[in-house]
Chain A
Amino acid sequence: MTDTAREEILGRINQALGRRGGGEYVSSASGTVPTGSPAEAAGSRTGAGHGAEDTSDDAGSTTPAAGGGMVNQSADYLRTGTHSGEDLIELLVDRLEDYKANVHRVTGDPAATIAGLLETGSNIVVPRGLDEAWLQEFSGEISVDTPGQELSVPELDTQAAVVTASAVAIAQTGTIVLDGSPECGRRAITLVPDHHVCVVRVADIVDIVPEGIARLTPEAALTFISGPSATSDIELKRVEGVHGPRTLDVVIVEE
Chain B
Amino acid sequence: MTFLGMPLLRSTHHDDHEIPGGQGNIIEDESFAKVSHRHLSNQQLRDNIGHATASIRDKRAEVVAELDDWEALREAGSRAKNHVMENLPEYLAQFEEKFTAAGGIIHWARDADEANAIVTELVEANAPVLDSGRREVIKVKSMATEEIGLNEHLETQDIDAFETDLAELIVQLGDDKPSHILVPAIHRNRDEIRDIFMDKMPDADELTNEPAVLAEAARRYLRSKFLTTKVAISGANFGIADTGTLGVVESEGNGRMCLTLPETLITVMGIEKLLPSFDDLEVFLQLLPRSSTGERMNPYTSFWTGKTPGDGPQNVHLVILDNGRTRALADEHGRTALNCIRCSACMNVCPVYERTGGHAYGSTYPGPIGAILSPLMTGVKTEENGSLPYASSLCGACYDVCPVKINIPEILVHLRNEDVEANHSPVSSQLDTALTGASWMMSEGKRMAAAESGLPLAHKATGGNPINSLPGIAGAWTSSRDIPGLPEKSFRALWSEDEARTQDEARAEEEDDET
> Is there a direct interface between A and B, measured as CB atoms under 8 Å apart in the complex?
yes
Residue B88 lies at the interface, judged by CB distance under 8 Å to chain A: yes
Residues of B within 8 A of A212 (CB): 282
Task: From the candidates B89, B331, B411, name the one contacting A13 in the complex (CB within 8 A).
Answer: B89
Residue pair B94, A75 in contact (C-beta under 8 Å):
no
Residue A203 lies at the interface, judged by CB distance under 8 Å to chain B: no
Residue from A14, A47, A67, A99 having most chain B Cβ neighbours under 10 A: A47
Residues of A within 8 A of B407 (CB): 28-30, 50
Contact mask B281-316 → A, CB, 8 Å, 1/0? 111011001000101111111111100101110000
Residue A116 lies at the interface, judged by CB distance under 8 Å to chain B: no
Residues 1 to 31 of chain A near chain B (Cβ within 8 Å):
1-2, 5-6, 8-10, 12-18, 25-30
Residue pair B215, A231 in contact (C-beta under 8 Å):
yes
Residues of B within 8 A of A99 (CB): 295-296, 299
| Given A29-B405, A72-B279, A187-B256: A229 and B251 interface contact (C-beta under 8 Å) | yes
| Given A13-B88, A209-B285, A229-B251: A29 and B78 interface contact (C-beta under 8 Å) | yes
Residue pair B69, A78 in contact (C-beta under 8 Å):
yes
Interface size on A, residues (CB 8 A): 99
Majority DSSP secondary structure for residues of A touching B: loop
Residues 193 to 224 of chain A near chain B (Cβ within 8 Å):
209-210, 212-214, 216-224
Residue pair B186, A236 in contact (C-beta under 8 Å):
yes
Residue A68 lies at the interface, judged by CB distance under 8 Å to chain B: yes
Which of A55-63, A105-113, A131-139, A159-167 lies on the face that meets chain B? A55-63
Residues of B within 8 A of A170 (CB): 297
Task: From the candidates A51, A79, A188, name the one contacting B75 in the complex (CB within 8 A).
Answer: A51
Residues 244 to 278 of chain B near chain A (Cβ within 8 Å):
245, 251-254, 256-257, 259-261, 271, 276-278
Q: How far is the CA of A201 from the CA of B335 in the complex (A)?
A: 45
Residue of A nearest to B304 (CB): A221
| Given A70-B276, A233-B170: A27 and B107 interface contact (C-beta under 8 Å) | no
Residue pair B166, A233 in contact (C-beta under 8 Å):
yes
Residue pair A223, B410 in contact (C-beta under 8 Å):
no
Residue A230 lies at the interface, judged by CB distance under 8 Å to chain B: yes
Residue pair A243, B253 in contact (C-beta under 8 Å):
yes
Majority DSSP secondary structure for residues of B touching A: helix
Residue of A nearest to B348 (CB): A236
Residue pair A44, B71 in contact (C-beta under 8 Å):
yes
Residue pair B411, A28 in contact (C-beta under 8 Å):
yes
Q: How far is the CA of A4 from the CA of B17 in the complex (A)?
A: 18
Residue pair A9, B254 in contact (C-beta under 8 Å):
no
Interface size on B, residues (CB 8 A): 121
Residues 77 to 112 of chain B near chain A (Cβ within 8 Å):
78-80, 82-83, 85-94, 107-110
Q: How far is the CA of A207 from the CA of B491 in the complex (A)?
A: 61
Residue pair A10, B107 in contact (C-beta under 8 Å):
no
Residue pair B82, A52 in contact (C-beta under 8 Å):
yes
Residues of A within 8 A of B332 (CB): 18, 25-26, 28
Residue of A nearest to B85 (CB): A25
Task: From the candidates A16, A175, A234, name the one contacting B326 in the complex (CB within 8 A).
Answer: A16
Task: From the candidates B69, B281, B298, B329, name the one contacting A213 in the complex (CB within 8 A).
Answer: B281
Residue B167 lies at the interface, judged by CB distance under 8 Å to chain A: yes
Contact mask B200-233 → A, CB, 8 Å, 1/0? 0000000000011011101100110011100000
Residue A226 lies at the interface, judged by CB distance under 8 Å to chain B: yes
Residues of A within 8 A of B329 (CB): 13, 16-17
Residue B38 lies at the interface, judged by CB distance under 8 Å to chain A: no
Minimum C-beta distance from A59 to chain B (A) = 5
Q: How far is the CA of A149 from the CA of B442 in the complex (A)?
A: 81
Task: From the candidates A2, A47, A57, A75, name the one contacting B108 in the complex (CB within 8 A).
Answer: A2
Residue pair A69, B282 in contact (C-beta under 8 Å):
no
| Given A78-B68, A150-B310, A225-B300: A237 and B211 interface contact (C-beta under 8 Å) | yes
Residue B369 lies at the interface, judged by CB distance under 8 Å to chain A: no
Q: How far is the CA of A99 from the CA of B251 in the complex (A)?
A: 12
Residue of A nearest to B224 (CB): A157
Residue pair B295, A242 in contact (C-beta under 8 Å):
no
Residue pair B277, A180 in contact (C-beta under 8 Å):
no
Q: How far is the CA of A195 from the CA of B62 in the complex (A)?
A: 30
Q: How far is the CA of A132 from the CA of B137 in the complex (A)?
A: 39
Contact mask B414-458 → A, CB, 8 Å, 1/0? 100000000000000000000000000000000000000000000
Residue pair B405, A50 in contact (C-beta under 8 Å):
yes
| Given A28-B414, A150-B310: A244 and B299 interface contact (C-beta under 8 Å) | yes
Residue of A nearest to B308 (CB): A221
Residues of A within 8 A of B212 (CB): 239, 241
Residue of A nearest to B245 (CB): A218
Task: From the candidates A8, A18, A70, A230, name the one contacting B277 in the complex (CB within 8 A).
Answer: A70
Residue pair A218, B278 in contact (C-beta under 8 Å):
yes
| Given A64-B87, A229-B251: A29 and B311 interface contact (C-beta under 8 Å) | no
Residue of A nearest to B285 (CB): A209
| Given A51-B78, A69-B87, A69-B277: A232 and B227 interface contact (C-beta under 8 Å) | no
10 contacts between A and B (CB under 8 A): A2-B108, A28-B331, A180-B311, A186-B312, A209-B285, A222-B301, A234-B193, A243-B222, A243-B253, A245-B253
The 9 closest A-B pairs by CB, nearest first: A244-B253, A68-B242, A16-B330, A243-B253, A173-B297, A210-B282, A12-B326, A242-B252, A186-B311
Q: Which residues of A contact B (CB under 8 A)?
A: 1-2, 5-6, 8-10, 12-18, 25-30, 44, 46-47, 50-52, 54, 57-65, 67-72, 75-79, 95, 99, 147, 150, 153-154, 157, 170, 172-175, 180, 186-188, 191-192, 209-210, 212-214, 216-239, 241-245
Q: Could you list 5 further interchain pairs (A-B, Cβ under 8 angstroms) beyond the known A13-B271, A229-B252?
A: A52-B78, A95-B296, A233-B167, A233-B252, A243-B164
